[in-house]
Amino acid sequence: MSEETRILGIETSCDETAAAVVENGRQIISSVVASQAALHAQYGGVFPEVASRRHIETIYPVVSSALTQAHVGIRSIDAIAVTRGPGLAGSLVVGVNMAKGLALASGVPLLGINHLEAHLYSTWLQTDVSEPGFPLLGLIVSGGHTELILMREHLTYERLGGTLDDAAGEAFDKIARLLGLGYPGGPAIQVAAEGGDPKAFPFPRSWLEETWDFSFSGLKTAVLRQVRRHQPELEAGVEIPRPGLPIADLAASFQAAVVDVLVGKTIKAAEDYGAEEILVAGGVSANRSLRQTFAEKSTVGVRFPPLALCTDNAAMIAAVGHQRYLSGQRDALDFDVLPTWPLTE
């Protein structure tokens, strides 16, 4: 079988409606992302019912502009790859139904894709990067997940550990809300932290020795305690102006605590498992301090996706679609969405 493919990717697992055309798993011909972030900002997080309704309005124009921008018709696509899970059930259904309709009408094969796997493959969406060096250690840090994964070859995953409570991105979002910085919280914390001292507050690091798991709830409570100390009148979830709150120092100290643990445990796991390289993906992999700290501390190479592909997009779905199409996967048109689909069964 020829290794050359042209895949249409579709993604609607959370608050981005996205479609992309990717060639050979690497070359992005078109990539359209309609973010709902501004819509959800008023709620301080993603409102599932609002998200699925917006996906319904947006999916058709997004898919059709991805095809138009790529100058291809659906019949010159080799496969349609769509996020099947994990994610919000009502949102996933919109993308999956669109993909099924297109597949049924055109006869093009349909592939259901795991969103976490796609984050890992976002790293190779560049024509000028080398093939992966296996075994590799993957850290997925997104709004919904924090997962440490060992990959010995393409499409095979061993889960070493993950978060026991909040995902890394979720912790950024919650602390940003607490500091009155808005949604999404990660980029806002990063900006606020730039003027702050990461050593101002010695926040706890949950190392959970002897496991590859993570926990961010103790850190969250410690930040909350500091905020209450400065703002005794604060009520949970109430956003008020906070003169006198050392936001930059709190943001920098919180970010440093998250980064320390993510980098420390990932590098240790890479050493223990003899990984050739480390892959960091998902929304939080856009974080500048995380990138710098990995670069300073790791003795093996660390790959990140291009900045624009750290958060949810459909090019990464198509990138996995390429590998899975070549491996022979073809899905029947009657599959269901899998909102809690783990990367390893």
In the bound state with ligand KG4, the residue whose beta carbon lies nearer, of 91 and 311, is 311
Q: Does 216 bind ligand KG4 (CB under 6 A)?
A: no
Taking CA atoms, 204 is separated from 45, 191, 210, 291, in Å, by 25, 22, 18, 21
Shortest reach from residue 4's CB to ligand KG4, in Å: 29
Q: Which of 109, 186, 196, 305 binds ligand KG4 (CB under 6 A)?
A: 186
Interaction mask 154-183, ligand KG4, x per CB under 6 A: ---------------xx-xx----------
Q: Does 246 bind ligand KG4 (CB under 6 A)?
A: no
Segment near Zn ion (CB under 5 A); pick from 31-39, 69-77, 194-202, 308-316: 308-316
- Determine the size of the site formed for Zn ion (CB under 5 A): 2
| Dihedral sign computed on CA atoms, order 135, 343, 88, 59 | positive
Q: Which of 5, 36, 58, 142 binds Zn ion (CB under 5 A)?
A: 142
Shortest reach from residue 284's CB to ligand KG4, in Å: 4
Q: What end-to-end distance do the CA atoms of the chain give, in Å?
A: 29
Task: Reduce the DSSP state of residue 105 to 3 states and report it.
Answer: helix
Which residue type, as a one-letter code, is found at position 156?
A: T
Segment near ligand KG4 (CB under 6 A); pick from 104-112, 138-146, 197-205, 244-252: 138-146
Please give the radius of gyration of the chain, using alpha carbons only, rounded to the nearest integer: 20
Tokens found for residue 344: 């390893």
Partner from ligand KG4, Zn ion, none contacting 287, C-beta within 5 to 8 A by type: ligand KG4
In the bound state with Zn ion, the residue whose beta carbon lies nearer, of 19 and 108, is 19
In the bound state with Zn ion, the residue whose beta carbon lies nearer, of 140 and 252, is 140
Q: Does 312 bind Zn ion (CB under 5 A)?
A: yes
Q: Does 305 bind ligand KG4 (CB under 6 A)?
A: no
Q: 274 CB contacts (<8 Å, ≥6 apart)?
A: 135
Partner from ligand KG4, Zn ion, none contacting 83, C-beta within 5 to 8 A by type: none
In the bound state with ligand KG4, the residue whose beta carbon lies nearer, of 25 and 86, is 86
Taking CA atoms, 171 is separated from 43, 81, 167, 257, 321, in Å, by 16, 30, 6, 11, 30
Shortest reach from residue 312's CB to Zn ion, in Å: 4
Which residue type, as a one-letter code, is found at position 314?
A: A
C-alpha closest to that of 259 among 164, 146, 153, 158: 146
Shortest reach from residue 228's CB to Zn ion, in Å: 32
Q: Footprint of ligand KG4 on residues 274-293 (CB under 6 A)?
A: 282-284, 286-287
Task: Reduce the DSSP state of residue 263 to 3 states and report it.
Answer: helix
Distance CA 105, CA 242 (A): 56
Tokens found for residue 312: 């949810």
Q: Does 190 bind ligand KG4 (CB under 6 A)?
A: yes
CB 180 within 8 A of CB 233: no
Shortest reach from residue 170's CB to ligand KG4, in Å: 6
Q: Does 184 bind ligand KG4 (CB under 6 A)?
A: yes
Q: Footprint of ligand KG4 on residues 309-338 (CB under 6 A)?
A: 311-312
Q: Does 9 bind ligand KG4 (CB under 6 A)?
A: no
Q: State the Cα torsion 207-286-219-222 to the nearest 10°.
A: 150
Q: What is the DSSP string of 162-195?
A: EBSSS-HHHHHHHHHHHTT--SSHHHHHHHHHTT
Query: What are the residues binding ligand KG4 (CB under 6 A)?
Result: 14, 142-144, 169-170, 172-173, 184-187, 190, 282-284, 286-287, 311-312
Query: What are the residues binding Zn ion (CB under 5 A)?
Result: 142, 312
